[in-house]
Amino acid sequence: MFRREPRDPLERQLSQFRQQLEQTTADEELALDEDLLPRPTTESSAPSSRTSTWQPPEPPARQPATPDRMLSIVAANARWQGTLQTEGSLVIHGHVEGTIQAAHDVTILEGATVRADIAAQQVIVRGAVQGRIDARGRLEIHPGGEVIGEVSAPSLVVHEGARLSGKLKMGATESTDSAPSPGGYR
């Protein structure tokens, strides 16, 4: 079987996520079939007679969160207003207004519009963003992407065809020391 290779990291990640879902579903169906079988138990009242009785299955052990379980998605036909907070990553296809806080990455895809303050490890923009972006690691604006507002990021990548308009602050987080650095610059 021939398979088309995904073009960008997001497509690869979504493809891997779909494959894991298919595998997980098959494994769960098999586990459910096994759980429905009666479990034999022995009673010690009569040494020669053994009876079996059904006992309910034990609840499954809680599995640790994997990166795929930590991915939240705002669909293209969805509109979110308010605070959106996640311990994982967020992919936006639709429209968001308010505040976005993510422990990992926020990706705004083509056709998505965001009017919000964003705080995340890495912010990738392919759509339109208006507001404050606080990227703890990196801000990347792809061709066709547009950012209007205040940006703070230690690392910035602006591809040809991308637009950035507003106030930009780069570098490590500002220290509480107000003394000017050598050369008079901060």
In sequence order, the 6+-apart residues with CB closer than 8 A to the CB of 51 are 41, 42, 43
Model confidence, pTM: 0.59
- The residue extents of the domains of the chain are 70-170
Residue 7 phi/psi, 5-degree rounding, is -85, -35
pLDDT of residue 70: 83
pLDDT of residue 4: 55
AA identity, residue 180: P
pLDDT in tens, the chain (186 residues): 555 554 566 676 667 767 776 766 555 555 555 555 555 554 444 555 555 676 666 655 554 444 556 888 999 999 999 999 999 999 999 999 999 999 999 999 999 999 999 999 999 999 999 999 999 999 999 999 999 999 999 999 999 999 999 999 987 654 334 444 444 433
pLDDT of residue 176: 38
Asked whether the beta carbons of 103 and 121 are under 8 A apart, the reply is yes
pLDDT of residue 102: 94
Query: With the C-alpha atoms ordered 91, 14, 140, 143, is the resulting torsion angle positive or negative?
Result: negative
pLDDT of residue 35: 52
